[in-house]
Amino acid sequence: MSNSKMSRRDFLKSASALAAVSCLPVSMVELAFADKRKNFMFAYISDSHIQFITGGGFVRNWDRGLIRAVAETNLLQPKPDFVVFGGDLAQLGMKEELDHGAEMLAKLDYKTYCVMGEHDYYLDLGEYWSKLYGPHYYSWDHKGVHFVTLNSILTYDDWTHERWPTAEQRMLEMAGLDNPNGSPFMVGKKQLDWLRKDLEKVKKETPIVVFSHSPIQKIYKGWNFWTEDAEDVQALLKPFNDVTVVYGHVHQIQYNQIGNISFHAVMATAWPWPYPQSYAQAKSHLPKLTVPMNRADPFFERDATGWQFIDIDNGRVSMEYNLSNNTNRTVAFNPKTGKPEDSAFQDPAKRIPPQTHY
């Protein structure tokens, strides 16, 4: 990743090689180094929302999404070094849902790192999840890259501990969009202190990849596409040359760059969310996304669901999407404009369908 001299032509070549892998509800992330022999890949599956139906098993479509993702991941060639599950394994944090999801994830042939989602957490505050997956936040090193998993879906203590008569109601209140009873997500002081200490031992030139569930940036508060203390986390990551944050939760493709930090969302295996209205209103969200609405047809429910390839080159990330109509799209850093772009899509003359509200 650092000092890579990979040209755009080289990137496209390698991206098309990756895209030859059959369509799958999983994201592949390749970390590309100057010395290509050091390159490695990991896979990312997110937001399966396994949902228990009282007395009647589980919602079949959500099960199928995760089963397919696991099966496709096991078939990947080349094989990823590990898999990250990006959170919201369960729909309402129930033991039945977490057990059923864990049973499906256990079929992965790779070491799997799990991220906490709000749907996993707010019934018992992550207690049962911990029995399955261990600590809520942690870090590790792999082939010269420092990986950090954060629990970004915490919130204010009084909301968590004092507001709701039952744990079930707390879970339901946090599960909704546009719910005035909800509360913004945060990493929290304790975890920020841990992260500060964790990063003290990491060299500034070491590439850092952070996994969170909610975006460590502020996109749209009404839907909790938002982390209240995002700036505090960003400040801790700022001294490093090369930082990438990969997150789930938003069930849609998002791409942004703030200083040295690239942000990338991955799709859900369960369902895609539509784009919030705020995307058309630059003043209502911070930061302004550098690649707004980068799906071909947001009104087509399966548009861009789940298949994307991320290639990290010199601290910038290029993403290749296999769309459901068998066309591809690439979002890549454009050195001329100094920001990530989907050049074909963002050229107004080439937009299909035309989009006029930006």
Using CB under 5 A, list all residues that contact Fe ion.
47, 88, 117-118, 249
Using CB positions, name the residue nearest to Fe ion. Answer: 88
Strands, E assignment, the chain: 27-32, 40-45, 83-85, 112-114, 138-142, 145-149, 208-212, 243-247, 255-258, 261-265, 308-313, 316-322, 328-334, 339-341
Cα 229–342–295 angle (5° rounding)? 75
Q: How far is the CB of 118 from Fe ion (least distance, A)?
A: 5
Query: Would you say 4 or 155 has its CB closer to Fe ion?
Result: 155
Q: What is the DSSP letter of 357?
A: -
CA distance 269 to 50: 10
Query: Would you say 212 or 322 has its CB closer to Fe ion?
Result: 212
CA distance 353 to 43: 31
Q: How far is the CB of 117 from Fe ion (least distance, A)?
A: 4
Q: How far is the CB of 200 from Fe ion (least distance, A)?
A: 30
Q: How far is the CB of 178 from Fe ion (least distance, A)?
A: 15
- The 208-212 sheet, strands edge to edge: 138-142, 145-149, 208-212, 243-247, 261-265, 255-258
Q: How far is the CB of 52 from Fe ion (least distance, A)?
A: 16
Query: Would you say 14 or 48 has its CB closer to Fe ion?
Result: 48
CA 67 to chain centre: 19
Query: Would you say 14 or 212 has its CB closer to Fe ion?
Result: 212
Query: Would you say 76 or 230 has its CB closer to Fe ion?
Result: 230
Q: Prior bond to 78 cis, omega within 30?
A: yes
Query: Would you say 39 or 256 has its CB closer to Fe ion?
Result: 256
Q: How far is the CB of 17 from Fe ion (least distance, A)?
A: 31
Q: How far is the CB of 195 from Fe ion (least distance, A)?
A: 20
Query: Would you say 117 or 126 has its CB closer to Fe ion?
Result: 117
**What backbone phi and psi angles, to 5 degrees, belong to 32?**
-105, 125
Contacts of 213 (CB under 8 A, 6+ apart): 86, 87, 88, 115, 116, 117, 118, 151, 152, 153, 247, 248, 249
Query: Would you say 47 or 97 has its CB closer to Fe ion?
Result: 47
Phi-psi domain of 243 (left: phi exceeds 0; alpha: psi -120 through 50; beta: other): beta
The structure tokens listed for 122 are: 């707010």
Q: How far is the CB of 300 from Fe ion (least distance, A)?
A: 20
